[in-house]
Amino acid sequence: MKIGFLIFPNMTVLDFVGPCQVLSQVPGAQIYVFWRDLCAVSTDAGFAVMPTHTFAEAPQMDVLCIAGGPGQREVMDDAQVLDFVRWQGASAKYVTSVCTGSLLLAKAGLLTGYKAGCHWVWRDQLESFGAIPVDARVVEDRNRLTGGGVTAGIDFGLILAAKLASDEVAQVIQLALEYDPAPPFDVGSPHKAGVEQRALVEQLFTQHYPIL
Amino acid sequence: MKIGFLIFPNMTVLDFVGPCQVLSQVPGAQIYVFWRDLCAVSTDAGFAVMPTHTFAEAPQMDVLCIAGGPGQREVMDDAQVLDFVRWQGASAKYVTSVCTGSLLLAKAGLLTGYKAGCHWVWRDQLESFGAIPVDARVVEDRNRLTGGGVTAGIDFGLILAAKLASDEVAQVIQLALEYDPAPPFDVGSPHKAGVEQRALVEQLFTQHYPIL
């Protein structure tokens, strides 16, 4: 079972690592990490990750997963990246994304007419690419499975692990990763946070990551 | 504010990436990722990460954080790694770990007489190194802050972010990372999982990752 992730410069590393950690534990999973070359790829967390394969070397994936992050804006206009996503997405069994990765899927035409999730700050942008934004942590529509912002990738990964293997396997992975979250504050969604906190996050992101 | 992570071959990548993603967003944070050389370091999730600095290049960190994972057993006997951890831990403002990283901290003598957390499968091993195992997601004892297994690193990271900056900053980071977890199953701790699930995880880990 071939599970492929697209990475790109200045990505949000946890968007990718959350689901990758979960899905790499599914029996029979082979992880592929794609970029146009095999050089180290920067992330937004101060260190770089290594691709395992170039676009040109890629066999057809069973699962395609697109992460998001500040670097999203540049790859949204990168024809080579869009072609790769379109080509893999056309035949993958599951076409998936986490966070603003859904904007890239949508730009590649893979979410046209599909319900999809996204990081809450950018969710409405999905409409301009023909997708139907849904305010949920994980959104399923036919073979599209899309997650909300960053940490939603862990919940997304476990839901996908259950589909790829079984509930029992996903549960053992959840216990192995000791995923019994205890957030220190109750402000992790825009519905729970205050107006000022939301404004601050939107302001920070608009300054640093003007995504469109 | 210098925040340093030790990485090592066959580490559990989410142990490191969870807190690194959170702490990299703290204003003024500089992330250092250490290994003995600057070659790519393998992880247990099918791809490699890049160190940013060698042990020899390391300035004194304000925060030292040690991740865990299958490769733990080998670095537990690596004098160069233990020396680096001991040296940094002697003067760091916060000496921290996630998952089985606490076993390495303990082996380096940095948890002697301290309460500490660990992945539930290996938690009791802390005693053989003079630490006091505590069954909690995040354990604080003076300037030691240690997390439970893997995903505990995100909760740990937010608690540490609040200490390094403020509750307000940690809350904005939590909202930015949309950390409002919704695990698909309620089996993420050994207290919530069934006997068979616990046995399966222990069996898997004992087969693949004989840690001591």
Compute mean pLDDT per 10 residues along chain A, 212 residues long, and list them: 98 97 95 98 97 98 97 95 98 98 97 97 95 98 97 98 95 96 96 91 72 38
- Domain boundaries along the sequence of chain A: 2-182
Mutate to test the interface with B, among A178, A196, A198, A207 (most CBs of B within 10 A): A178
- CA A26 to CA A169: how far, in whole Å? 7
Whether B21 and A162 lie within 8 Å, measured CB to CB:
no
Query: Smallest Cβ distance to B46: which of A52, A181, A200?
Result: A52
Residue bearing the bigger pLDDT, A139 or B211 = A139
Give the model confidence (pLDDT) of B115-125 as tens digits. 999 999 999 99
By Cβ distance, the residue of A119, A172, A176 closest to B178 is A119
Q: Indicate which residue of A20, A39, A65, A99 is catalytic.
A: A99
pLDDT confidence band for B211 (50 / 70 / 90): very low
Q: Please tell me the least confidently modeled range out of A160-164, B30-34, B71-75, B81-85.
A: B71-75
- pLDDT value at position A204? 81
Q: Where are the alpha helices (DSSP H) in B3-93?
A: 13-23, 72-75, 79-91
Residue B212 has pLDDT above 50, yes or no: no
For residue A154, which residues of chain B lie inside 8 Å, CB to CB?
151, 181, 183
**Closest Cα in chain A to B48:** A50
B208 pLDDT band, cuts 50/70/90, is: low
> Percentage of chain B with pLDDT > 90?
92
What CATH class is the domain B2-182?
A: alpha beta
At B204 the pLDDT is 81
pLDDT at residue number B210: 44
A176 contacts on B by Cβ (under 8 Å): 149-150, 201, 204-205
pLDDT at B169 over 50: yes
Residue A70 distance to chain B (closest CA, Å): 12
Considering only CA atoms, which of B30, B77, B70 is closest in space to residue B52?
Answer: B30
Any residues with CB less than 8 A from the CB of A90 and at least 6 apart, and which?
none
HEC per residue, chain A:
CEEEEECCCCECHHHHHHHHHHHCCCCCCEEEEEECCCCCEEECCCCEECCCEEHHHCCCCCEEEECCCCCHHHHCCCHHHHHHHHHHHHHCCEEEECCCHHHHHHHCCCCCCCEECCCCCCHHHHHHHCCEECCCCEEEECCEEEECCCCHHHHHHHHHHHHHCCHHHHHHHHHHCCCCCCCCCCCCCCCCCCHHHHHHHHHHHHHHCCCC
Q: Which residue has the tokens 């000496």?
A: B95
Nearest by CB: B175 against A40, A184, A193: A193
Is A39 a catalytic site residue?
A: no
Question: Residue A210: what pLDDT?
Answer: 43
pLDDT digits (tens, 9 = 90+) for B114-154: 999 999 999 999 999 999 999 999 999 999 999 999 999 99
> What pLDDT is stored for residue A205 in this prediction?
80
On the question of pLDDT at B206 being above 90, the answer is: no
A175/B198 touch (CB, cutoff 8 Å), yes or no: yes
CA-based nearest distance A88→chain B, Å: 20
Contact check, Cβ <8 Å, B150/A21: yes
